[in-house]
């Protein structure tokens, strides 16, 4: 490690997850300083100051952005063109993982398990009416079903529909985020997440079971103290653990993730672990899932941040 390294922790951004990203950024900055990177600095990315990243001449950028613009390959492309190393996945992996539809299509093509789904384009709703779309979703997916805006995060634009009478409104609501809607079968089972570190050689960290005081792991559950609980290791069978770890590795490699990623699953009672999504820039506050899992295997938060930084310099 070179303590003189000029590390810029880039956080904030313009997505709906800006507030969370600022929290991650501050936590990572503190951790890097604690580890010994005394030149590490924070950079609050806004709409108009991207060029200032270049004038700061960083040796490396530690990304703690979430959502649009930060987790979807755009800032990664900018840094690639500028020749600045950055933590985490590259352009293509970030772009595909940000889009839950594309992610599922890659998973399916690799034979990896994910919830059954349908995609609806907004123009069809405009032409054929929301009642027709609702009917089709009931027939193809059934109730309960999960509707998602494909490119959001932090459970924004995710709704679980249980009753037919709620469906039309939920459909219209999703189209306020995106012109495509992802409808998935509802999986009941244990929700777990699996953090993975590495480039070619992977280190799979302990799985975490997530329980929520809310109806599901929604925005409030994610970011309010006491509204969700992390159980390490998850209360799943040894067989399901092994399967999740194998699926996790395969998904990480298939989607060409680098540095780190967190793979979310629901362990279905009958079918075992089903992938929900892949987070290429997972939350990095001290309370977040990734650092919690690392801690459970004896890796402190400063050590984790140092490790992630080292992986981007490889
Ligand atoms: N198919 C599903 N069945 C049951 N619950 C789901 C399903 N998909 C998502 N969820 C619930 O919704 C939450 C958010 O969904 P997710 O796809 O992970 O979106 P986000 O990117 O916003 O985290 C999950 O953590 C889980 O609790
Ligand atoms: Mg998620």
- Tens of pLDDT, residue by residue over 67-88, are 888 999 999 999 999 999 999 9
pLDDT tier, 207 (very low <50, low <70, confident <90, very high otherwise):
very high
Q: Are residues 161 and 205 in the same domain?
A: no
pLDDT tier, 282 (very low <50, low <70, confident <90, very high otherwise):
very high
The closest of 203, 225, 215 to 158, measured between CA atoms, is 215
Looking at residue 165, its pLDDT comes to 95
* Ligand 1, atom 25, residue with closest C-alpha: 217
Burial of 4 (0-12, 13-18, 19+ CB in 10 A): exposed
Q: Are residues 165 and 303 in the same domain?
A: no
Q: Which domain holds residue 214?
A: 96-113+187-312
Which are the contacts of 2, defined by CB distance < 8 A and separation ≥ 6?
A: none
> CA geometry: angle at 184 spanning 119 and 219, to 5°?
110
Q: How many CB atoms lie within 10 A of CB 311?
A: 18
CATH code: domain of residue 249: 3.30.470.20
Residue 2: inside a domain = no
Q: pTM to 2 decimals?
A: 0.96
Looking at residue 306, its pLDDT comes to 98
CATH code: domain of residue 170: 3.30.1490.20
Cβ atoms 57, 24 nearer than 8 A: no
Q: Which two tokens stand for residue 307?
A: 């490790």
* pLDDT (average), residues 26-31: 98
User: pLDDT digit string (tens) for 227-252?
Assistant: 999 999 999 999 999 999 999 999 99
Handedness of CA 262, 266, 267, 273 (dihedral sign): negative
Neighbours of ion ligand 2 (CB under 5 A): 264
Distance from residue 217's CA to the centre of ligand 1 (Å): 7
* Ligand 1, atom 26, residue with closest C-alpha: 217
Cβ atoms 138, 120 nearer than 8 A: no
Residue 179: is its pLDDT beyond 90?
A: yes
Looking at residue 314, its pLDDT comes to 87
Q: For residues 62 and 305, what is the distance between their CA atoms, to the nearest angstrom?
A: 9
Q: What is the DSSP letter of 193?
A: E
Q: Are residues 146 and 204 in the same domain?
A: no
Ligand 1 atom nearest to 188, measured from its CA: 4
Domain end point (choices 185, 202, 229): 185
Distance from residue 114's CA to the centre of ligand 1 (Å): 12
Look at the chain and report how many structural domains it folds into.
Answer: 3
Q: For residues 8 and 3, what is the distance between their CA atoms, to the nearest angstrom?
A: 13
Q: What is the DSSP letter of 137?
A: H
Give every strand in the sheet of 145-148, ordered side by side.
117-121, 180-185, 145-148, 158-161
Q: Give percent of the chain above pLDDT 90.
A: 89
* pLDDT (average), residues 97-122: 97
Q: Are residues 250 and 267 in the same domain?
A: yes
Distance from residue 8's CA to the centre of ligand 2 (Å): 26
Burial of 42 (0-12, 13-18, 19+ CB in 10 A): middle
Higher pLDDT residue, 57 or 224? 57
Extended strands (E) in 158-271: 158-161, 180-185, 189-198, 202-204, 208-212, 228-231, 259-268
Return the percent helix, strand and coil in the chain, to nearest 5: 40, 25, 35
> CA geometry: angle at 190 spanning 308 and 246, to 5°?
50
Ligand 1 atom nearest to 274, measured from its CA: 1
Q: Are residues 217 and 105 in the same domain?
A: yes
Q: Are residues 168 and 83 in the same domain?
A: no
Q: Are residues 101 and 242 in the same domain?
A: yes
DSSP H or E run through 106? helix 100-109
* pLDDT (average), residues 245-272: 97
Looking at residue 284, its pLDDT comes to 96
Bridging pattern class, strands 7-12 and 259-268: unpaired
Ligand 1 pocket by Cβ (under 6 Å): 115, 146, 148, 152-155, 158, 184, 186-187, 191, 216-217, 264, 266, 276-277
Q: For residues 309 and 294, what is the distance between their CA atoms, to the nearest angstrom?
A: 15
Q: Are residues 50 and 132 in the same domain?
A: no
Q: Are residues 108 and 49 in the same domain?
A: no
Mean of the per-residue pLDDT values for the chain? 95
pLDDT tier, 286 (very low <50, low <70, confident <90, very high otherwise):
confident
Looking at residue 118, its pLDDT comes to 97
Domain end point (choices 160, 185, 210): 185
Cβ atoms 94, 43 nearer than 8 A: no
Q: Are residues 43 and 155 in the same domain?
A: no
Q: Which two tokens stand for residue 137?
A: 């979703």
Residue 1: is its pLDDT beyond 80?
A: no
Domain end point (choices 185, 204, 232): 185
Ligand 1 atom nearest to 187, measured from its CA: 3
User: Could you give the residue numbers annotated as active site?
Assistant: 17, 154, 223, 262, 264, 277, 279, 283
Q: Are residues 126 and 264 in the same domain?
A: no
* pLDDT (average), residues 52-61: 97
Distance from residue 272's CA to the centre of ligand 1 (Å): 16
The residue length of the chain stands at: 314
For a ligand 1 pocket test, name from 103, 152, 155, 186 the mutation site with the most ligand atoms within 8 angstroms of its C-beta.
155
User: pLDDT digit string (tens) for 165-177?
Assistant: 999 999 999 999 9
pLDDT tier, 158 (very low <50, low <70, confident <90, very high otherwise):
very high
Range scoring the smallest mean pLDDT among 114-123, 212-221, 268-277: 212-221
């Amino acid at each position: 490690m070179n303590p003189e390294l000029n590390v810029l922790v880039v956080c904030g951004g313009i997505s709906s997850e800006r507030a969370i990203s600022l929290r991650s950024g501050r936590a990572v900055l503190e951790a890097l300083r604690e580890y010994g990177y005394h030149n590490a600095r924070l950079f609050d990315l806004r709409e108009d100051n991207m060029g200032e990243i270049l004038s700061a001449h960083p040796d490396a950028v530690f990304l703690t952005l979430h959502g649009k613009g930060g987790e979807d390959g755009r800032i990664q492309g900018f840094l690639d063109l500028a020749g600045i190393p950055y933590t985490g996945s590259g352009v293509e992996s970030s772009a595909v993982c940000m889009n839950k539809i594309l992610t599922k299509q890659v998973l399916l093509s690799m034979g990896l398990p994910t919830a059954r789904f349908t995609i609806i384009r907004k123009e069809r709703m405009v032409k054929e009416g929301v009642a027709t779309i609702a009917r089709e979703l009931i027939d193809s997916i059934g109730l309960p079903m999960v509707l998602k805006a494909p490119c959001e995060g932090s459970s924004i634009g995710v709704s679980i529909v249980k009753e037919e009478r709620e469906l039309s409104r939920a459909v219209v609501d999703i189209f306020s985020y995106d012109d495509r809607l992802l409808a998935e079968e509802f999986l009941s089972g244990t929700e777990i997440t699996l953090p993975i570190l590495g480039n070619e050689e992977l280190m799979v960290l302990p799985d975490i079971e997530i329980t929520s005081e809310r109806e599901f792991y929604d925005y409030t559950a994610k970011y309010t103290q006491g509204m969700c609980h992390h159980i390490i290791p998850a209360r799943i069978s040894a067989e399901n653990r092994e399967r999740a770890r194998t699926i996790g590795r395969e998904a990480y490699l298939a989607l060409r993730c680098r540095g780190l990623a967190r793979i979310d699953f629901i362990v279905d009672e009958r079918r075992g672990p089903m992938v929900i999504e892949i987070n290429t820039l997972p939350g990095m506050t001290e309370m977040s899932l990734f650092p919690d899992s690392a801690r459970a295997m004896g890796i402190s938060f400063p050590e984790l941040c140092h490790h992630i930084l080292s992986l981007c310099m490889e």
